[in-house]
Amino acid sequence: MMSNQAKCGKHSKLHSKLEYRAGVKMKSVFEEIAKKSGDSEFFIEIPNGYKPGKTKYIIITGTVISGIGKGAFSSSLGFLLQKHGFVVESVKFDGYLNLDAGTMNPFRHGEVFVMDDGTEADMDFGTYERFLDKNLSGSNYLTGGRVFSKILKREREGAYLGRDVQFIPHVTGEVKYFFRSLAMEKKPDFILIEVGGTVGDIENSYFIEAMRQLSYEEGRENVCFINLTYILEPESLGEQKTKASQLGIKRLMSTGIQPDIIVCRAKNLITEKAMEKMSVYSNVPKEMVIDCHNLKTIYEIPVWLEKQKLDQKVLERLGCKPKERIDLDEWKDYIERIEQPKREIIVAIAGKYTGLKDSYASILKAVEHSGAYWKTGVKLKWIETTNIDEKNVKDALSGVCGLIVPGGFGARGTEGKIACVRYARENKIPYLGLCFGLQMAVIEFARDVCGLEKSNSTEIDPKTPHPVIDILPDQKKIHGLGGTMRLGGQDVHIIEDTLAYRLYEKPLVRERFRHRFEVNPEYHKILQKNGLIFSGWSAKEKNIVQIIELKDHPFFVATQFHPEFTSRPLNPNPIYREFIKACIEQND
């Protein structure tokens, strides 16, 4: 793979110098003002060996409203740049003061996505990993809490040499150092930076200032600003209105940032009139105003952007030579399998966060990947388990050919989940349990097959006479919540001659975890004696069960890990893939 410098060779002479936007050449900022002296107003700290220009930065902001798909857009652009042969890293900044997303309520913030290194991140990281088909890490994730935590720690250590610590230069300097460190660590050609929220939010104002400074220091030939804005279309008017977008762009420009590209989001195709208005009021040439209206699936976005040559425009803006044609045939085939399935099946998801589907975002995508693999559309039936019991469970699961019980915490809705598991086991409905879903399956099996009445998890009932699910030994002395669970990638040993082994076709796999509780080792023997198969174990701690399954059942598998986090559009996780296959066979 050619390096960014090779592809952008005609601009290599600029790498040692930076320029003002007006084009006035400066002496090397990194030689003149990267001083740790308390006298420098710049107070720039640069990673050893860092050189401007080796990595280009693409900064993506949003205006009008949040939640307009900056993550999907950023992932799609990164996907296209990878198709041109460049190395891409995606980053997101979230302005909240949490250190990470681990303690956030799914109802407020959606799914917590777990990366391989154990970082609990915003759900956009799932989109990044799926589109880029690569594992990211904590080096790609920045929050306001992380920035201020580091600064306050350094202040207590006296690292600022007696200076009063301020937003400028210290906070903005810390932000810039984070990205330059990533550039040194991963050595990408491009870093795509998604700014969470919208321009004008107090919590990201210092970050946007840091991005302005980054452009000033790196040189405008090395930084591209893209703004996603939402074009309103009130039903009462029947036309697209751009005023809110214009004001949002003006707000961005008032921070000293001139966007290079405007991406217009809307329900319908953006009209020529609306695009012309956005061009005039944002000082952006009309050819750099891009339409990104609602499409049938998120996977169509890269194809639609490539059709408008957005990837080429970004590369040319940054002085890099794009390929004449990139190969999207395999991706287009995937889209066709999603949009034109040969059959449709119904699968139930029995959880307690069903009021916000984003709580299960990665599960939905993993099901989608596997459905496309088998050219099958998967319709989901949502079951709120708080309202389920033995009397109505049959009606709740009527017409489904598979059941998923996802992760969760706390006692609410657990008896409903157990009732669903029992019905699936007894009526031979394919079952997939995920983390908490494994624990519910063990409790149900202990009660109804082993005869251990009132079996439970100590999380739900600390006084249960049969704690078949108990807290992990290394968790018993931990009192805090944030970042204290068993988190991230762990090796799982798969037992031969089991369904799990047939799925993975190898004895050792790596999957991602997020839990505190386990199958209590004191009950291993009685559970196994009565027919529960432990087909996956921790490769590190030999007595921790990671996968359970049943014989004489179309598909009954539960995992302590979350296989949805490692599923990819063109490479579904094998557990989801074969679960959906079993559901298809059940339907037939």
Strands 88-94 and 556-559: unpaired
Q: What is the dihedral of CA 230, 234, 239, 245, to 10 degrees?
A: -30
Rg (CA), the chain: 26
Residue 160: how many other CB atoms lie within 10 Å = 16
CA atoms of 266 and 268, how far apart (whole Å) = 5
Query: For residue 337, what are its two tokens?
Result: 């399998």
562 is catalytic: yes
Region of residue 110 (phi > 0: left; psi between -120 and 50: alpha; otherwise: beta): left
The residue annotated as part of the active site, out of 111, 549, 562, 578, is 562
The residue annotated as part of the active site, out of 224, 320, 401, 435, is 435
The residue annotated as part of the active site, out of 120, 194, 444, 564, is 564
Asked if 369 and 131 touch (Cβ cutoff 8 Å), the reply is: no
Residues of 220-249 as b/e, b for ≥16 C-beta within 10 angstroms? bbbbbbbbbbbbbbeeeeeebebeebbebb
Residue 327: how many other CB atoms lie within 10 Å = 9
The answer for residues whose C-beta is within 8 angstroms of residue 395's C-beta and 6 or more apart is none
DSSP string, 509-549: EEEEEEESEEE-GGGHHHHHHTT-EEEEEESSSTT-EEEEE
Q: Residue 286 phi/psi, 5° resolution? A: -60, -35
Catalytically active residues are 435, 562, 564
